[in-house]
Amino acid sequence: MSNDLPYYTNQVEKGSDYTVSFCLDFFNKRLRVDDYMGNVDAIFRRIAEIAETNAITKVFIKSREEDWQAFLSKGWMLEGIYKGYFRGCDAFCMAYYLDLERRTSDYWMEEDHILKQVLALPLKSDRPAVPANCTMRIARVEDAEKLAALYEQIFQTYPTPMNDPGYVEKVMREGTIFYLIESPDELVSAASAEINATYGNAEMTDCATLPSYRNQGLMRLLVHALEDELLARNITCAYSLSRALSLGMNAVFYQMGYGYYGRLTKNCDIYDKFEDMNLWVKKLK
């Protein structure tokens, strides 16, 4: 990525017959439309223009139920369904590619095999115990530095600059909740919920555990804690995008009652390449 470009910019554009809220994501070479109102034809034309101007290779929109077929008829494809995203109404993830390499998955059959393994696992609704030498708590702004250090250690590349303490602090101040588990010596595991209060949903994300602490149920523990926090804030839809090549993270969400609702091709740059992401969604009650 060019050093003079930010990771991303969030923008709202108003035309004569539409309004569109989008994220121009330079690091991941994608344009994500999070909300829109008005003329779908005009929106389609305008976001295609913005994508071409900015050398974007993937565009996707969280479409309302009444519009997804209009996008389909213009050459877009349905990649997943965010169940209950718009205050209980579904959002349809419609994708449009401007590059053949971006459109083509390199690992689809392997990911299908991993998904099949995940879907054969037993559900686990129980809440694991916090390990004897550890404590779990909600994160504070002062934790930004050690959270950033954890993400720096785990991820070679990541879709957002979570290895930057300033960025971690910024998202916390904007309302993202982090829960963490720490031993007496170090931060061992963390996860976050990025809240959309307008529509009552949250993305479960930024999941990381030190290798020496894996397979102890820590991530399930953190997700339980985040779900409790979300319910207290009247958030009813929780969703997560998990690397389709990662058996562990997909297993966590499936076993906690999240349903599989699609796979987003080469959705973001994570670890060391553009990767396909599985969409998991759960209605909180």
Contacts (Cβ under 8 Å, ≥6 apart) of 164: 148
Whole-number pLDDT of residue 2? 43
DSSP 189-249: EEEEEEEETTTTEEEEEEEEE-GGGTTSSHHHHHHHHHHHHHHHTT--EEEEEEETT-HHH
Q: Report the alpha-carbon angle 268-170-157, nearest 5.
A: 30
Helices (H) and strands (E) in the chain, counts: 8, 13
- How far apart (Å, rounded) are the C-alpha atoms in residues 161 and 262? 26
- CATH code 3.40.630.30 region(s) in the chain: 8-103, 108-283
Judged against a pLDDT cut of 60, whether residue 240 lies above it is answered with yes
Q: Tell me the pLDDT tens digit for each residue of 21-52.
A: 999 999 999 999 999 999 999 999 999 999 99
Q: Does domain 8-103 have CATH number 3.40.630.30?
A: yes
CATH fold label, 108-283? Aminopeptidase (3.40.630)
Judged against a pLDDT cut of 90, whether residue 90 lies above it is answered with yes
pLDDT bracket for residue 7 (50, 70, 90): confident
Judged against a pLDDT cut of 70, whether residue 110 lies above it is answered with yes
Most confident of 1-15, 148-162, 192-206: 192-206
User: What count of residues does the chain have?
Assistant: 285
User: Hey, how many other C-beta atoms are within 10 angstroms of the C-beta on 90?
Assistant: 18
Q: Which of 96, 75, 116 is nearest to 22 (CA)?
A: 96
pLDDT bracket for residue 125 (50, 70, 90): confident
Distance of CA 249 to the CA centre of its chain: 12
Judged against a pLDDT cut of 90, whether residue 156 lies above it is answered with no
Interhelix angle 218-232/247-255, nearest 10 degrees:
50
User: Hey, how many other C-beta atoms are within 10 angstroms of the C-beta on 42?
Assistant: 15
Whole-number pLDDT of residue 5? 62
Contacts (Cβ under 8 Å, ≥6 apart) of 123: 254, 255, 256, 257
